[in-house]
Every structure is written in C-alpha cells, then in structure tokens.
Homo-oligomer: A and B are copies of this chain.
C-alpha cells in the first residue's frame, strides 16, 4: 500500500470560513459602501450585508462601523482585512496556477513527464528520442529512469513514473501497453571464432557453450535463454552487468551473446573486434511497448508519445542496413510478422 504521511494537518476548524465572505469584506473595506461593494461582487446589497453580519457574529468581532456618514473599519477589522487580502491573494494564485496548468494541457505533451525504460533499451532509445521530442513538444520536461522490468512495473503502479518502455510479456494488471516496434536480435560473436560455428545462423546451430548473459532480472536474459532453449546452468557465472560490458566481453573473446539491434552504435568502435550477425528468421527479437497506468489521466498524452516513437523508429537504420518493423502502421514489416507476443495484453481505451 502507499505510504500514509502524517502531515501537520490543519486544525480542521476553519469554522465554515468562505472565500466569498472574505471577498465581501475586502470589497466593503475598499469602497466604504455596502451597496457599491455588493455591486462589485455582483450580488444584492442584502446578501452582502447578511453575509458580513454572519461573519462578524462567527468571529465575534465587529469589522465595520456602520453609520450614516459612511462605513468605517474598526481597528480589528483593519488587521483582519489585511489578512483577508493575503488569503484571497493566495487563492488567486491557486486559480492562476490551475489555469496555467490547464492551458499547458492544451499542448499534447507538456510539463513534467517521468519516463522509465529497461536498461537494455533506455541508453540506446532515449538519445534517439530526445531531439525529436524537444522539437515536437518544446514545453515537455522529461525525467528519465532506467531500471529493470520488475522495478519499472512497481514504480509505474506506485506513480513514481508516468510511463515506461519495456518488452512484453509483463504482468499488465492495471496497465495499458501500446506496442511500438519490433527490435530484432543479432548474434554477437568474435570474428576470430570458428566460422563454421556461426555459418548458418539458425537458432539450432548455436554453439553449446560460451553464451554470456546479463544479470538476473534483465528481461533480455530471459529472452535469450528462451531462444536458446537451454537452462543457464551450462554457462553459470558468465554474466555481465550491462550490454556495453557484455559486448566488450564478447569482443575480448570471452564467448558469444545475443544483442538487441539498437544497442549497436553506428559507427561501432568495436567493429573490428566484434561481428553482429542477423538471424535467418525475421521473428527473432523482442517487441518494445510503452506502458502506462490504465487509470492515468490524459491517456492520449501517452498515445501521442507512442505515435511519435513509432514514427521515429520507422526511420532508424540498423547496423545491418535494415529498418525496424512498425507495430501497427501500414509500412512493410521486415521483422516481427506476428505482432507482440505474450499474455497480459490490456484492453485499451
């Protein structure tokens, strides 16, 4: 459950005080005239008189001195009116702030947006997104986090982040997942390895030993193991803490691995030490989806973001010259013909 902060808490005895009453009081104090004050407040004079009288009774303080010569503030009234002005001023700032925020909402994307991504995607996805996002939505303020899937889901549900880039399948209870693009996997191996071992690049022809994995908790680790149809027991102890580390290990001849296409920089500083080869089947890879709370306000905000990411992704050239497959658009799907897999896909809307 969410933490219950026990804050100072107001004494709860605002005694039915109303901002309208304070407006009336200030109006009379300004104009020294009940009738004029009522006019300014757009109410009838009796209404204003009654409200001020009731307020005076509640406060047990006479604010105004009524006489035929005019309306005078009592000394107490003077001090209270000064404080009333402060209250109204702060209330006005509240309204102004709300109006500003509401107007900001008129933009499709504006204000702070806390985005998360899995670590095997974020460092390679965000740099490609920042420029187009800033160009399309200048008033958007991104706060980025990179944690593994489980933490991502927890932070998402706890409201610590607003949306997350991740790879299904995930437990999507209470979430909406919008597929964005299909990211193919590549086989990374040392060019010095026996060419025969990787000659055909089918999943069945992978060597029995030498697979290097990421740490526990990375979805990419699980997906790689699933592809290889083997338990991690065979190469226990061979793991890296990040994709970059993993690529360096492969380049150093420590073994081979399976990498998502976006993690390969262009140009690649490891080009001479590392060969990344596509698989012969187009469905080897992972779907990337954007996830947000189903209860989130302004869901179109995330759909807008998703659409922009899809548009961008359609233009990215991979290291092997091919392009990413779009999730829903009409373009040619070069990868991921069957759509994002996994259970837990949430109904949308």
Residues of A at under 8 Å CB distance from B? 1-7, 9-15, 17-20, 22-23, 26, 30-33, 36, 40-42, 59-62, 65-76, 79-80, 83-84, 86-95, 97-99, 101-102, 105, 111-114, 157-159, 162, 174, 293-298
Give the nearest-CB partner of A6 in chain B. B30
Specify how many copies of this chain sit in the oligomer: 2
CB <8 Å contact, B69 and A97: no
Q: Which of B42, B80, B105 contacts A61 (CB 8 A)?
A: B105
In the A-B complex, list the 8 residue pairs whose CB atoms are closest, starting with the nearest. A62-B297, A72-B159, A67-B295, A2-B70, A60-B102, A59-B98, A87-B90, A83-B94
Q: Which of B7, B20, B36, B80 contacts A97 (CB 8 A)?
A: B80
When A26-B10, A87-B94, A95-B15 are in contact, do A112 and B66 touch as well, CB less than 8 Å?
no
Q: Which residues of B contact A13 (CB under 8 A)?
A: 95
Give the nearest-CB partner of A114 in chain B. B75
CB <8 Å contact, A86 and B76: no
Known: A11-B92, A86-B90, A87-B94. 8 other contacts (CB 8 A): A2-B69, A10-B89, A18-B20, A67-B174, A67-B293, A69-B157, A83-B94, A87-B87
Distance to closest chain B CB from A341 (angstroms): 26
Could you name 7 residue pairs across A and B whose Cβ atoms are closer than 8 Å? A2-B70, A4-B33, A14-B23, A17-B91, A61-B102, A61-B105, A80-B101
Most B CB atoms within 10 A — which of A5, A10, A31, A73?
Answer: A10
Distance to closest chain B CB from A195 (angstroms): 53
CB <8 Å contact, A18 and B15: no
CB <8 Å contact, A80 and B94: yes
CB <8 Å contact, B174 and A68: yes
- Report the Cα distance A298→B33, complex, angstroms: 21
CB <8 Å contact, B4 and A32: yes
Q: Which residues of B contact A83 (CB under 8 A)?
A: 90, 93-94, 97
CB <8 Å contact, A17 and B159: no
Q: Which residues of B contact A114 (CB under 8 A)?
A: 75
Give the nearest-CB partner of A83 in chain B. B94
- Report the Cα distance A2→B174, complex, angstroms: 65
- Report the Cα distance A152→B209, complex, angstroms: 107
Q: Which residues of B contact A113 (CB under 8 A)?
A: 75
When A68-B174, A69-B174 are in contact, do A101 and B87 touch as well, CB less than 8 Å?
no
CB <8 Å contact, A91 and B30: no
Q: Which residues of B contact A15 (CB under 8 A)?
A: 95
Distance to closest chain B CB from A38 (angstroms): 13
Give the nearest-CB partner of A81 in chain B. B94
Q: Which residues of B contact A174 (CB under 8 A)?
A: 67-69
When A65-B297, A101-B80 are in contact, do A90 and B90 touch as well, CB less than 8 Å?
yes
- Report the Cα distance A86→B94, complex, angstroms: 9
- Report the Cα distance A31→B1, complex, angstroms: 11
CB <8 Å contact, A62 and B298: yes
Q: Which residues of B contact A36 (CB under 8 A)?
A: 4
CB <8 Å contact, B2 and A30: no
Distance to closest chain B CB from A241 (angstroms): 31
